[in-house]
């Protein structure tokens, strides 16, 4: 009998769809033909496509002995790269001090450095060479509570008039992928989904304390797309590509902070079996979070919270001969709401609702210096306010939904994530 899975054999991992950096092989040197003086030099290579440039390759060193030396760098080809950039440090330069020297057009994968031109321009710190829709094996694994990713194919069933009322046949239609993923919120996982959402993300800090400040973006395409790999039972693997976050919710229930992301992708295919490396971070529970209404004033009469963003993303289909999947996915209008459950004490808050009085709302969770996230909605207007009596002994409760609006800087909210995860 087949070994059918019931969930215990499942796992999920994801990766950013970007070009990988090149891998250098051992460089060579000659004592004639150039102007490079004697010394120890560090070398690095990056790959380039239409979207941008990767981070640096493995760093190698070479020792030159003459006053007229040359250096020959070599590296492996990167699929999808249109060119490469060669970087070299000054003699005796420290790790990571390489400066730009030259651009090499693919498919060439070697460069002879004669010492000119003068190096200028630092190594990139972020991989901007996005490669949407091209599968990348998982680099980040994490536990989930559930997922329901699916492949949707708009099969065209043919019913031409030909002396029969039934379906004559079928023709392949457009296809895309979509579905939810839910789990316990981990700050080092949240930042991956935010990069595939509609945000401008500014990274600051140094190891191990990285800070990612995320504000809504007007751009309809995310900074990065994701490849999502799911093993649903032992050895049965599904790979979803071109994935963006269509919308997400972050909520607190019974003290646990959880998330639900709605994924939209362009295609799906079988992929190799991944070998997971599980994170050591733990979720946020009781005693790690607080709610402030308005910002700066903690409240202690709230026992339910949910922050939700809907980016109204849709797949875009084009006339093409490269498969059934969507050409890309893009965002539509954005809508951000916050829902709260509070004890009802008096009419002051309810009257503020009737008067269209806006408030600044903050929710933050922390387990330490580099294990934090916060959500600040500076202009939040109560959209619904429900109170009611159910019985003589009932505690009167208020169910409130806020609609967020943009502030003077044009942002409806700011998400800040502090984590040891270093996104490059």
pLDDT at site 3: 61
Q: Is residue 351 helix, strand or coil? A: helix
Structure tokens at 323: 């498969």
Candidates 270, 271, 267, 224; CA nearest to 245 is 224
pLDDT at site 188: 95
Q: Kindly report the length of the chain.
A: 424
- Kindly report, residue by residue over 85-132, the tens digit of the pLDDT: 999 999 999 999 999 999 999 999 999 999 999 999 999 999 999 999
Quickly tell me which residue has 């457009």 as its tokens. 174
What whole-number distance in Å separates Cα of residue 365 and Cα of residue 288? 5
- Kindly report, residue by residue over 170-193, the tens digit of the pLDDT: 999 999 999 999 999 999 999 999
pLDDT at site 322: 87
Model pTM? 0.92
Please give the DSSP secondary-structure letter assigned to residue 396.
P
- Asked if the bond preceding 181 is cis, omega within 30° of 0, the reply is no
What whole-number distance in Å separates Cα of residue 232 and Cα of residue 217? 34
- Asked if the bond preceding 107 is cis, omega within 30° of 0, the reply is yes
Kindly give the parts of the chain with pLDDT less than 70: 1-5
């Amino acid at each position: 009998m087949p070994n059918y899975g019931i969930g215990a054999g499942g796992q999920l991992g994801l990766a950013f769809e970007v070009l990988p950096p090149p891998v250098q092989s051992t460089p060579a040197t000659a004592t004639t033909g150039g102007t490079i003086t004697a010394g120890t030099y560090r070398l690095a290579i990056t790959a380039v496509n239409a979207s941008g440039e990767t981070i640096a390759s493995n760093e190698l060193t070479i020792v030159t002995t003459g006053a007229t030396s040359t250096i020959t760098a070599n590296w492996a080809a990167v699929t999808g790269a249109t060119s490469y950039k060669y970087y070299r440090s000054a003699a005796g330069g420290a790790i990571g001090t390489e400066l730009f020297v030259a651009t090499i057009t693919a498919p060439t994968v070697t460069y002879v450095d004669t010492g000119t031109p003068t190096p200028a321009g630092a190594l990139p710190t972020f991989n901007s060479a996005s490669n949407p829709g091209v599968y990348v094996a998982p680099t980040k694994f994490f536990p989930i509570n559930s997922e329901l990713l699916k492949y949707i194919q708009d099969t065209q069933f043919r019913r031409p008039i030909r002396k029969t009322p039934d379906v004559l046949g079928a023709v392949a239609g457009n296809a895309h992928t979509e579905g939810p993923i839910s789990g316990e919120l981990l700050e080092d996982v949240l930042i991956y989904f935010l990069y595939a959402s509609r945000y401008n993300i500014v990274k600051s800090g140094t190891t191990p304390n990285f800070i990612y400040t995320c504000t809504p973006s007007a751009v309809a395409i995310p900074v990065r797309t994701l490849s999502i790999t799911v093993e649903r039972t032992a050895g049965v693997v599904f790979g979803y590509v071109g994935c963006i976050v269509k919308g997400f919710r972050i909520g607190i229930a019974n003290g646990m902070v959880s998330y639900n992301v709605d994924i939209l992708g362009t295609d799906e295919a079988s992929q190799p079996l991944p070998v997971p490396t599980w994170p050591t971070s733990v979720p946020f529970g009781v005693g790690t979070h607080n709610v402030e209404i308005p910002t700066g004033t903690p409240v202690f009469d709230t026992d339910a919270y949910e922050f939700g963003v809907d980016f109204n993303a849709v797949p875009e289909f084009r006339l093409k001969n490269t498969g059934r999947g969507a050409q890309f996915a893009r965002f539509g209008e954005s809508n951000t709401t916050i829902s709260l459950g509070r004890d009802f004490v008096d009419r002051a808050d309810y009257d503020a609702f009737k008067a269209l009085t806006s408030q600044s709302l903050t929710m933050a969770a922390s387990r330490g210096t580099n294990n934090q996230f916060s959500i600040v909605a500076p202009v939040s207007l109560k959209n619904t306010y429900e109170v009611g009596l159910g019985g003589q002994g009932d505690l009167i409760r208020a169910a409130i939904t806020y609609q967020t609006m943009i502030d003077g800087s044009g942002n409806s909210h700011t998400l800040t994530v502090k984590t040891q995860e270093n996104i490059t």
